[in-house]
Structure 1
Amino acid sequence: MQIIISPAKKMRIDNDDLVSAAEPRFLKDTEILLAELRKMQYDDLKKLWQCNDEIAALNYKRLQTMRLRANLTPAVLAYDGIQYQYMAPRVFENAQLDYVAEHLNILSGFYGILKAMDGVVPYRLEMQAKLPAAGCKNLYDFWGSRLYFELTQNDKSILNLASKEYSKVIEKYLTPEVEYVSCIFGIWQDGKVKVKATEAKMARGEMVRWCAEHNILHIEDTKKFDRLGYKYQKEQSTAKEFVFLKN
């Protein structure tokens, strides 16, 4: 089973706790994107990033000094969003680190797809950003089917814990022999499932932690997840979507 999750916008440098074990699979493509970003003026980058001046200035400075093979942080420690806070990889034991190293995949507009221990640097580039590169009009076109085939070359079972912005880069290329299940975390309100973005991010991170703690190898076993008040709901679920609701 392979797990896919989204990155986070906020990143940190942390190369003291763990040593990154590998170079990202698509680093040469990342170099292409970096070259395109460096060609852009500050105002155009700010528009591409859709952020305020403080964040734009920080990331503009990062672009000028970015070195893709130095001062690296393992990907699972580099992102600092809500999902990663609830995953809490910094307090993983060795067995849990081994689990995420083998089963966790982070989808990225800048790096394409990352294993947990791949070494990265702080960047800002969402998958939905309209950045033309290598004759492609946006990042979905740039990455194409390569991330899907990288993900499924050795494993035909995917647990989707990523947002729609990122999971669509995989879903577009799904073939029948691949088992692909998305987890929905929400509440039952007015006769339907309602998803709150922040709580869903918390649950996705907690699901990764739970899978690592229990060495979950089969998607069917994720139905046993019971953290943060969530329980699997058979009536609302399908073969392609597992629904977990809070009591």
Structure 2
Amino acid sequence: MKIIIAPAKKMIVDTDNFVAETTPLYLSEASQLLARLRQLTFTELKALWHCSDQLATANYQRLLKMNLTTDLTPAIMAFTGLQYQYMAPDLFTTAALEYVKSNLRILSGFYGSLRPFDGITAYRLEMQAPLQLGQTTNLYQFWGNKIYTALAINNEPVIDLASNEYAKTIRPYLQPNEVFIDIIFGQLIEGKVKTKATLAKMARGEMVRYLAENNVQTLTELKQFDHLNYQFQAPLSTPTKLVFIQK
């Protein structure tokens, strides 16, 4: 199976504990985006990033010095948001690391599609940012079907543990025979499934950990996930939407 997750805004640089093993598939496209971002003024970048003056200043300084080929951190270790904290990839066994290398892909507005040990630099660019480049008016147009193509789906389900913002780079290009599985983490409130973003991020990280540590290969095995008191709910699910409710 292929598992897709979103990146995180929070990133670190760590070139000591883990070594980048591969180069991002779309490094040329990332270089184009970097050149375009450097054409923008501080005010334009702050608006694009939707962040405070303090964060904008730090990211602006980083942008000016950014190098896509040196001081690289493996993608799965570079992101440190809530989902990645609960995934805790730095504690993975060798077998679990091999599993994510084969099955996990991180979708990125800046790099497109990342394998776990692709070497990357810290950046800030969300997929929904309205960045214009050439004839394209946003990043969805810029990336087109490239992120989908990089998945290289081969008669296997795609497990969506990303946000809708990033899953939208895959869905439009799926072929009729390709299975895309939405994973819903929620709470049952007054008979309705309600999803809380923070809890969902935590659960997505836990599920990646569960899949990797248990070498999960089938949907039947995936449905056994029970971390953070979640349980699969067959009556609320469909063949392409698996619902997990927290007790």
User: Is the pair's TM-score, using the shorter chain for normalization, greater than 0.5?
Assistant: yes
Residue 160 of structure 1 corresponds to 160
State the TM-score, normalized to the length of structure 2.
0.98
Counterpart amino acid of residue 108 in structure 2: S
Consecutive unaligned residues in structure 2, runs of 5 or more:
none
Q: Does 1:8 align with 2:8?
A: yes
Counterpart amino acid of residue 76 in structure 1: I
Distance in 1 between the 2:52 and 2:216 partners? 41
| Structure 1 counterpart SS, 2:173 | coil
State the TM-score, normalized to the length of structure 1.
0.98
Q: Shift in Å at residue 152 of structure 1?
A: 2.8
Give the conservation status (yes or no) of the 8 Å contact 1:148–1:170. Answer: yes
Residue 116 of structure 1 corresponds to 116
Residue 197 of structure 1 corresponds to 197
Matches within 5 A, 1:98-247: 98-154=98-154, 156-247=156-247
Q: Aligned pair in 2 of structure 1 residues 153, 232: CA closer, same or farther (>3 Å)? A: closer
Residue 48 of structure 2 corresponds to 48
Consecutive unaligned residues in structure 1, runs of 5 or more:
none
Tell me the alpha carbon deviations over residues 36-83 of structure 1, each in whole angstroms, 9 at most, x when there is no partner: 000000000000000001110111011110000100000000001000
Between the two proteins, what is the percent identity of the paired residues?
Answer: 49
- Structure 1 range deviating more: 136-145 or 148-157: 148-157
| Structure 2 counterpart SS, 1:46 | helix
Tell me the alpha carbon deviations over residues 166-211 of structure 1, each in whole angstroms, 9 at most, x when there is no partner: 0011111111111110110000001110001000000000000000
Tell me the alpha carbon deviations over residues 185-242 of structure 1, each in whole angstroms, 9 at most, x when there is no partner: 0000011100010000000000000000000122332101010000000000011110
The count of residues paired between Structure 1 and Structure 2 equals 247
Q: Shift in Å at residue 154 of structure 1?
A: 4.0
| Structure 2 counterpart SS, 1:172 | helix
| Structure 2 counterpart SS, 1:105 | strand
| Structure 1 counterpart SS, 2:34 | helix
Tell me the alpha carbon deviations over residues 138-187 of structure 1, each in whole angstroms, 9 at most, x when there is no partner: 00000011111211354542100000010011111111111110110000
Distance in 2 between the 1:5 and 1:204 partners? 8
Residue 70 of structure 1 corresponds to 70
| Structure 2 counterpart SS, 1:39 | coil
Give the conservation status (yes or no) of the 8 Å contact 1:86–1:206. Answer: yes
Residue 95 of structure 1 corresponds to 95
Q: Does 1:26 align with 2:57?
A: no
Give the conservation status (yes or no) of the 8 Å contact 1:2–1:155. Answer: no
Dislocated runs of 4+, deviation >3 Å? 153-156
Q: Shift in Å at residue 32 of structure 1?
A: 0.4
Give the conservation status (yes or no) of the 8 Å contact 2:83–2:205. Answer: yes
Give the conservation status (yes or no) of the 8 Å contact 1:159–1:219. Answer: no
Residue 35 of structure 2 corresponds to 35
Counterpart amino acid of residue 139 in structure 1: L
Distance in 2 between the 1:219 and 1:150 partners? 22
